[in-house]
C-alpha cells in the first residue's frame, strides 16, 4: 500500500467515525450500558478467534526476538480475556458523565444559559504493545459517548483486530452505531502522521506509550493531544516531619512498584533532620536493594552507603530501584528544586506542621501535591474514579488522573423567547 492509499483509507475512517459520534452523542445511559454488556459478551463469544489471533502475534513476536517480558505483555489467555470482558462490565456500572448540567443561569433579559456535559466526539488513540488497551480505551471512550479510531502497535495487530471486531459486533447487537469503534488495520508509520493531521475528524488524540511515540504525536498533531509524559516525582522530608512516617512514605513511594509513573525518584531532606532520617531510610533502602545516589551532604552522612549523584540524576525518571537524594537547607530550596526538576506529575511533603504543609502545597506547580500520603496514590483507581485512561501531565482540559469526565466536553444551550441584540443586549 502506498502513502496515498493509506491516507485515503484513514481519512475515510475519520468521516465514518464522525457520523458514528453524532449517533453516539444522543444515546441514553441505559442503551450505552446495554451496549457495553453486549460488548463483554462479544469478547467471550469470540474467545477462540481472539486467542488464535493472539497466537499469530506471539509467534511473530518470538520470530522477531521479543524479550520474554514483552511476549508476556502481549499474551492473552482465557483468564486474561475474561478479565478484559469483566472490565467492560465494570465500566457499564460506572455513572455516565454525559448530560450533567455543570451550570445554569438566567440573564436579566430572560435568556437562559445552560452549560451541559457532552461527549468530545471522535477520539484517536495511538498505543503500543498491550492488546488490552484496545478494549480499555474503546470502552471508556464509548461510555462517555465518543467514537474511537484506534491505532495499535504492530506486535499486537492480529489480537487488536480480533478484539476490536468482537467489541464492535457485540455492541451492534445492542444498538452500537456502526463504525463507533474502528481499528486501523495496518501499522505503517505513515498512519500516525495521517491521524495527527486530520483535525477535521479527530477532536483529540491520546498517545499511550513511550516518550518516542508521544514526541512524534506532539510534533505532528494539529488537534489537541492529551499526553502523559514522565513522572519525576519528589518527596520532601521537612524539618517538622514525623521521621518514622517519612521513612514509611518514601519506602512505599520508591519500592512498592518502582516501574510506574507515580513512583518516587528524588528524595529531598531538610538539613535539620537529615542526620536522624537518612540512616534510618538508608537501612530500609539497603534491605530492599535500592541504589542510592546522593549530594555531598548526603554522602557526608551516609558515607559509603551512597553513590555520588551526577547533575543528570536530578532529572532522571529511573522507574527502577534507584533513588536520588539531596539535603536542602530550607523548604524554599526544596520547592525551587521541585519546580525546576519535577515533571509536574506528583510531589509530596512529609511534615507535622500544617502551616508549612499548606505553604508547600500552594507553591508546587504539579498536577498532584501530597501531604503525608505516598505519591503512589496518584491514580484514577485510588482517587475513586473507577477507571483511568491515563495521568495527564498537561495543564489544559485534563490534569492528573483522567477518567470518564475527562473524556467529555461541554456545550452551551441557550433558550429564550425571541431575544435580539438590537433590543435586548445586556452589555
Length of the chain measured in residues: 427
Instruction: Report in angstroms how near the CB of residue 48 gets to a second copy at its nearest.
Output: 32
Least CB distance to a second copy at residue 369 (A) = 5
Whose cell is 559509603? That residue is 304
Q: Which stretch binds a second copy (CB under 8 A): 58-66, 315-323, 325-333, 391-399?
A: 391-399
Distance (Å, rounded) from C-alpha 264 to C-alpha 65? 32
Residues 76-115 that bind a second copy (CB under 8 A): 105, 107, 111, 113
Q: Binding segment for a second copy among 52-60, 176-184, 240-248, 269-277 (CB under 8 A)? A: 240-248
Phi and psi at 18, nearest 5°, equal -60, -45
Query: Whose Cβ is closer to a second copy: residue 184's or residue 357's?
Result: 357
- How many Cα atoms within 13 Å fall on the side-chain side of residue 358? 2
Nearer to a second copy, 85 or 373 (CB): 373
The C-alpha cell 513512583 sits at 263
Which residues inside 405-424 make contact with a second copy, applying CB under 8 A? 409-422
Q: Whole-angstrom distance between the N-terminal and C-terminal Cα of the chain?
A: 58
- The correct pick among 57, 252, 265, 313 for binding a second copy (CB under 8 A) is 252
The binding track of 120-159 with respect to a second copy, each residue x by CB under 8 A or -, is xx--------------------------------------
Q: Distance (Å, rounded) from C-alpha 99 to C-alpha 101?
A: 6
> What is the nearest approach in angstroms of a second copy to the Cβ of residue 28?
10
Cβ contact 400:262 at 8 Å: no
From the list 373, 311, 300, 319, the residue with the least C-alpha distance to 337 is: 311
Q: How far apart are CA 127 and CA 125, in angstroms?
A: 6
Minimum Å gap between C-beta 340 and a second copy is: 9
| CA dist., res. 36 & res. 174, Å (int) | 8
Nearer to a second copy, 54 or 366 (CB): 366
In the complex, the smallest distance separating the C-beta of residue 268 from a second copy, rounded to whole angstroms, is 17
CA dihedral 294, 300, 306, 309 (to 10 degrees): 30
Q: Which CB atom, from 20 or from 167, has the smaller least distance to a second copy?
A: 20
| Minimum CB distance to a second copy smaller for 293 or for 344 | 344
Minimum CB–partner distance for residue 371 and a second copy (Å): 5
Residue 237 carries which DSSP code?
E
Q: What secondary structure letter does DSSP report for 209?
A: S
**Shortest CB 269 distance to a second copy, Å:** 17
Task: State in angstroms the smallest separation of the CB of 413 from a second copy.
Answer: 5
Site for a second copy, residues 327 to 346, rule: CB under 8 A = 339
Q: 255, 290 in Cβ contact below 8 A?
A: yes
70 forms part of the interface with a second copy (CB under 8 A): no
Nearest to 142, CA basis, from 8, 260, 42, 7 = 42
Residue 281 in contact with residue 252, Cβ under 8 Å? Answer: no
Nearest-angstrom CA–CA distance, 303 and 320: 22
Q: Give whichever of 313 and 388 is closer to a second copy, judged by the CB atom.
A: 388
Q: Which of residues 8-67 bind a second copy (CB under 8 A)?
A: 21-22, 25-26
State the minimum distance, in angstroms, from the CB of residue 245 to a second copy: 4
Considering only residues 354-383, where is the footprint of a second copy by CB under 8 A?
Answer: 357, 361-363, 365-374, 376-379, 381-383
Per DSSP, 376 falls in state: G
How many residues bind to a second copy according to rule CB under 8 A?
75
Near a second copy by CB under 8 A: residue from 242, 291, 320, 353: 242
Amino acid at each position: 500500500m502506498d502513502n496515498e492509499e493509506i491516507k485515503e483509507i484513514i481519512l475515510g475512517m475519520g468521516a465514518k467515525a464522525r457520523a458514528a459520534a453524532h449517533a453516539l452523542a444522543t444515546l441514553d445511559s441505559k442503551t450505552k450500558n446495554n451496549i457495553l454488556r453486549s460488548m463483554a459478551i462479544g469478547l467471550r463469544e469470540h474467545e477462540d478467534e481472539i486467542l488464535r489471533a493472539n497466537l499469530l502475534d506471539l509467534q511473530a513476536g518470538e520470530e522477531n526476538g521479543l524479550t520474554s517480558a514483552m511476549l508476556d505483555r502481549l499474551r492473552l489467555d482465557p483468564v486474561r480475556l475474561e478479565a478484559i470482558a469483566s472490565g467492560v462490565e465494570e465500566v457499564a456500572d460506572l455513572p455516565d458523565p454525559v448530560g450533567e448540567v455543570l451550570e445554569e443561569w438566567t440573564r436579566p433579559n430572560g435568556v437562559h444559559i445552560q452549560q451541559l456535559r457532552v461527549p468530545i466526539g471522535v477520539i484517536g488513540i495511538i498505543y503500543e504493545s498491550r492488546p488490552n488497551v484496545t478494549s480499555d480505551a474503546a470502552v471508556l471512550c464509548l461510555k462517555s459517548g465518543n467514537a474511537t479510531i484506534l491505532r495499535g502497535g504492530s506486535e499486537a495487530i492480529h489480537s487488536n483486530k480480533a478484539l476490536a471486531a468482537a467489541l464492535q459486533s457485540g455492541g451492534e447487537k445492542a444498538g452500537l452505531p456502526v463504525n463507533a469503534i474502528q481499528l486501523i488495520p495496518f501499522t505503517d508509520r505513515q498512519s500516525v502522521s495521517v491521524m495527527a493531521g486530520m483535525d477535521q475528524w479527530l477532536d483529540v488524540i491520546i498517545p499511550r506509550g513511550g516518550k518516542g511515540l508521544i514526541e512524534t504525536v506532539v510534533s505532528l498533531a494539529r488537534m489537541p493531544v492529551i499526553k502523559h509524559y514522565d513522572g519525576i516525582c519528589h518527596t520532601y522530608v521537612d524539618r517538622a516531619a514525623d521521621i518514622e512516617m517519612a521513612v514509611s512514605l518514601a519506602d512505599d513511594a520508591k519500592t512498592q512498584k518502582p516501574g510506574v509513573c507515580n513512583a518516587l525518584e528524588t528524595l529531598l531532606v531538610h538539613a535539620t533532620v537529615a542526620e536522624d532520617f537518612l540512616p534510618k531510610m538508608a537501612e530500609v533502602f539497603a534491605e530492599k536493594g535500592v541504589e542510592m545516589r546522593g549530594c555531598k551532604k548526603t554522602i557526608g552522612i551516609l558515607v559509603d552507603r551512597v553513590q555520588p549523584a551526577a547533575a543528570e540524576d536530578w532529572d532522571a525518571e529511573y522507574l527502577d530501584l534507584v533513588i536520588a537524594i539531596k539535603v536542602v537547607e530550607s523548604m524554599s530550596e526544596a520547592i525551587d528544586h521541585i519546580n525546576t526538576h519535577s515533571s509536574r506529575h506528583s510531589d509530596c511533603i512529609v511534615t507535622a506542621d500544617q502551616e508549612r504543609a499548606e505553604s508547600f502545597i500552594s507553591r508546587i506547580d504539579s498536577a498532584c501535591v501530597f501531604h503525608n500520603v505516598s505519591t503512589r496514590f496518584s491514580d484514577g483507581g485510588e482517587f475513586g474514579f473507577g477507571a483511568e485512561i491515563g495521568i495527564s501531565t498537561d495543564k489544559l482540559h485534563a490534569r492528573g488522573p483522567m477518567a470518564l469526565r475527562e473524556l467529555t466536553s461541554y456545550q452551551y444551550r441557550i433558550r429564550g423567547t425571541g431575544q435580539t441584540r438590537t433590543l435586548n443586549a445586556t452589555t
